[in-house]
A and B are shown apart, each in its own frame.
Chain A
Amino acid sequence: MATRVGPRVALDVRHLRKCYGSVVAVEDVSFGVRQGEIFGILGPNGSGKTTTVECLQGLRRADAGEIDVLGLDPRTEAGRLRQRIGAQLQESALPDRIKVWEALHFFSSLAPGGPDWRDVMERWDLGGLRNRAFSTLSGGQQQRLLVALAVVNGPELVFLDEMTTGLDPSSRRVVWQLVRDLRDQGTTVVMVTHFMDEAEHLCDRIAVIHGGRVAALGTTAELIAEFAGRSEVTFSTDLADIDFVRHVDGVATVEQDGTRVIVRGTGPVLARVAAALVAHGDAPIDLEIRRGSLEDAFLAITGDGSAT
Chain B
Amino acid sequence: MRTTAELTRLELKLFIRDPMTVLFSLALPVIVLLILGGVFGNEPGELDTGGPVYRGVGAMDYYVPAYVALVVVSVCLISVPAHLAGNRERGVLRRYHASSITAWQVAMAELGVAIVISAVSVVVLLVTATIVYDFVGPWSIPIVLLGFVTSTLAFSTLGVLLGAVLPTARSAQALGMLLWFVMLFLGGAGPPPEVLTDAMRAISTATPMWHAVRVMQHGWLELDPDGSWLILLAIVAIGAPLAVRAFRWE
Given known A92-B92, A92-B95, A110-B6, contact A97–B100 (CB-CB < 8 A) = no
What chain A residues lie within 8 Å of B101 (beta carbons)?
Answer: 110
What chain A residues lie within 8 Å of B170 (beta carbons)?
Answer: none
With an 8 A cutoff between CB atoms, is B173 at the interface? no
Considering residues A87, A95, A106, A149, which has the most beta carbons from chain B within 10 angstroms of its beta carbon?
A95
What chain B residues lie within 8 Å of A94 (beta carbons)?
Answer: 92, 95
Q: Mark B1-31, 1 if CB is under 8 A from A, else 0.
A: 0110011001001100110000000000000
What chain B residues lie within 8 Å of A146 (beta carbons)?
Answer: 95
Asked whether B94 lies within 8 Å of A97 as measured between CB atoms, the reply is: no
- The answer for the CA separation of A92 and B100 in the assembled complex, in Å, is 15
- The answer for the CA separation of A87 and B97 in the assembled complex, in Å, is 10
Could you give 15 example pairs across A and B, Cβ below 8 Å? A78-B100, A79-B102, A82-B100, A87-B98, A87-B99, A89-B94, A89-B98, A94-B92, A94-B95, A97-B18, A98-B10, A98-B14, A106-B6, A106-B10, A153-B99
With an 8 A cutoff between CB atoms, is B245 at the interface? no
Asked whether B90 lies within 8 Å of A93 as measured between CB atoms, the reply is: yes
Q: Name A's interface SS.
A: loop
State the Cβ distance, A23 to closest chain B Cβ, in Å. 16
Considering residues B3, B94, B249, which has the most beta carbons from chain A within 10 angstroms of its beta carbon?
B94
Please name the residue on chain A nearest to B94 by beta carbon: A92
Asked whether B100 lies within 8 Å of A79 as measured between CB atoms, the reply is: yes
- The answer for the CA separation of A91 and B18 in the assembled complex, in Å, is 24
Given known A82-B100, A97-B18, contact A91–B92 (CB-CB < 8 A) = no
Asked whether B95 lies within 8 Å of A93 as measured between CB atoms, the reply is: yes
What chain A residues lie within 8 Å of B95 (beta carbons)?
Answer: 89, 92-94, 146, 149
Asked whether A95 lies within 8 Å of B14 as measured between CB atoms, the reply is: yes
Asked whether A110 lies within 8 Å of B3 as measured between CB atoms, the reply is: yes
Size class of the contact patch on chain A: 20 to 34
Asked whether A93 lies within 8 Å of B6 as measured between CB atoms, the reply is: no
Considering residues A106, A146, A153, which has the most beta carbons from chain B within 10 angstroms of its beta carbon?
A106
Asked whether B6 lies within 8 Å of A109 as measured between CB atoms, the reply is: yes
Size class of the contact patch on chain B: 20 to 34
List chain A positions with a Cβ less than 8 A from chain B.
Answer: 57, 59, 78-79, 82-83, 87, 89, 91-95, 97-98, 102, 106-107, 109-112, 146, 149, 153
What chain A residues lie within 8 Å of B14 (beta carbons)?
Answer: 95, 97-98
Q: Name B's interface SS.
A: helix
What chain A residues lie within 8 Å of B10 (beta carbons)?
Answer: 98, 102, 106
Given known A82-B100, A97-B14, A106-B10, contact A89–B91 (CB-CB < 8 A) = yes
Given known A92-B94, A95-B87, contact A107–B99 (CB-CB < 8 A) = yes
What chain B residues lie within 8 Å of A111 (beta carbons)?
Answer: 99
State the Cβ distance, A35 to closest chain B Cβ, in Å. 21
Please name the residue on chain A nearest to B18 by beta carbon: A97
Q: From A59, A95, A109, A110, give the contact of B92 (CB < 8 A).
A: A95
Please name the residue on chain B nearest to A134 by beta carbon: B92
What chain B residues lie within 8 Å of A79 (beta carbons)?
Answer: 100, 102
Given known A91-B91, A93-B92, A95-B92, contact A59–B98 (CB-CB < 8 A) = yes
- The answer for the CA separation of A78 and B99 in the assembled complex, in Å, is 11
List 6 extra interface pairs beyond A82-B99, A83-B100, A102-B10, CB under 8 A.
A57-B98, A92-B95, A93-B92, A97-B17, A106-B7, A109-B6
Q: List residues 139-188 of chain B with CB under 8 A from any CB of chain A.
A: none
What chain B residues lie within 8 Å of A149 (beta carbons)?
Answer: 95, 99
Q: List residues 61-101 of chain B with CB under 8 A from any CB of chain A.
A: 87, 90-92, 94-95, 97-101
- The answer for the CA separation of A70 and B123 in the assembled complex, in Å, is 52
